[in-house]
Homo-oligomer: A and B are copies of this chain.
Amino acid sequence: MKREKLKVGIVGLGRLGKEYAKNLMFKINNADLIAACSLVDEELRFAKEVLGVPYLFSSYTEMLQLPELEAIYVVSSTDQHADHMIMALESGKHVFSEKPLALDTEECYRVKSVVDDNPELTAVVGFVRRYDQSYLYAKRKVDAGDIGEPFMVRSQTVDKDSIADFQMNYVLKSGGIFHDFNVHDIDLARWFLNAEFTSVHAIGGAFKHKGFGDLGDADNVMTTCTFDNGSMAVINASRTGAHGHDTYTEVVGTEGTLRIGRPSYKNRVEIYDQYGARKECVATFWERFDEAFLLMAKDFIDCILDGRKPELSINDAIKATEVANAFTQSFRASKIVHL
């Protein structure tokens, strides 16, 4: 049955923000995207001309004063996620934020305190892979005991190599490869193993783009992890994938193994030519996860309209940041870090 629509606003209309806004406007039938906020002219023009959003703002504070607004999607830059969540909650709006919650733990706890003070509001940080049909299917199989007791996760986030020099500085803003790439794998490991990290050990280097090394970061890393229930994981990240974006997770249990996303094929077409028998791979995380982004944005609205608690809690977001920090610390100090 068609329901009332939730009135939503969005802050941040960069590459990913635009996709969120298009989903909200064109593909989610119980949302009404009535407001958008950005400091960038081109982004507001997009909201007006391509989407037809009625209320446009260059001030986030002002947007929050729009009384009919019920919920906010935060797709601003990483360093603003926490503040934008807090401000939305304090204005009485439900709030969804792109990952990660923040780069340091203190900021995380600042958000948590506001979330705890507003139990009637829904606050979610989006770990999109939990909404992917293949990950969900695997999770159900694991929970049903189909692979016995899961005791090992191998997970990776690999981006197609398309690094230009100007991007090196963006690295600093996004918190480096562990925060930018591995928060997803960290969240998945907790989810599949149903356990918390106890120690991590990260190694890696700037094997192709030496510039990352100069900035204290890396282009390829791997981290071994132990968990409080005795299980273990190895988590990889790479900025230098030759074949495409390659998100891949393996869950190993005592009676079987599930592998999700290998190879990261683009579609159901197989090509036979002078290069052999081959499948093209997805180029970007968006191409891989566009459907999951839609389902995630939709689920937030459904939760609010149905008065249902989302599966993801603010605690999941805090854990991801804490563990990504431990990865970073281990990598920099070349030692095992205990949590």
- Where the two chains meet, the residues of A that have a C-beta atom closer than 8 Å to any C-beta of B are 1-2, 25-27, 29, 49-52, 133-134, 137-138, 141, 146-149, 151-152, 201, 203-205, 207-208, 220, 222, 224, 226, 230-232, 234, 238, 240-244, 246, 252, 254-281, 334-336
Q: Return A220 CB to nearest CB of chain B, in Å.
A: 6
| Contact, CB under 8 Å: B257 / A207 | no
Q: Return A149 CB to nearest CB of chain B, in Å.
A: 7
- Known: A205-B232, A281-B276. Is A27-B25 also a contact (CB below 8 A)? no
* A234 to B271 Cα, complex, angstroms: 19
Q: Which residues of B contact A137 (CB under 8 A)?
A: 266-267, 269
Q: Which residues of B contact A240 (CB under 8 A)?
A: 254
Q: Return A123 CB to nearest CB of chain B, in Å.
A: 26
| Across the A-B interface, the 8 shortest Cβ-Cβ residue pairs | A278-B278, A263-B277, A256-B273, A134-B268, A151-B207, A257-B272, A243-B272, A276-B280
- Known: A242-B273, A243-B276, A278-B276. Is A254-B207 also a contact (CB below 8 A)? yes
A-B contact pairs, 28 of them (CB 8 A): A1-B49, A2-B26, A27-B27, A141-B269, A147-B273, A149-B208, A201-B201, A201-B224, A203-B226, A204-B232, A205-B231, A222-B224, A222-B234, A234-B234, A243-B276, A255-B273, A256-B274, A257-B271, A257-B272, A259-B270, A259-B271, A266-B276, A271-B276, A276-B280, A277-B278, A278-B278, A335-B336, A336-B336
- Known: A201-B201, A271-B256. Is A220-B147 also a contact (CB below 8 A)? no
Q: Return A2 CB to nearest CB of chain B, in Å.
A: 5
| Contact, CB under 8 Å: B234 / A336 | no
Q: Which residues of B contact A52 (CB under 8 A)?
A: 1-2
* A87 to B220 Cα, complex, angstroms: 47
Q: Which residues of B contact A256 (CB under 8 A)?
A: 242-243, 271-274
* A272 to B258 Cα, complex, angstroms: 6
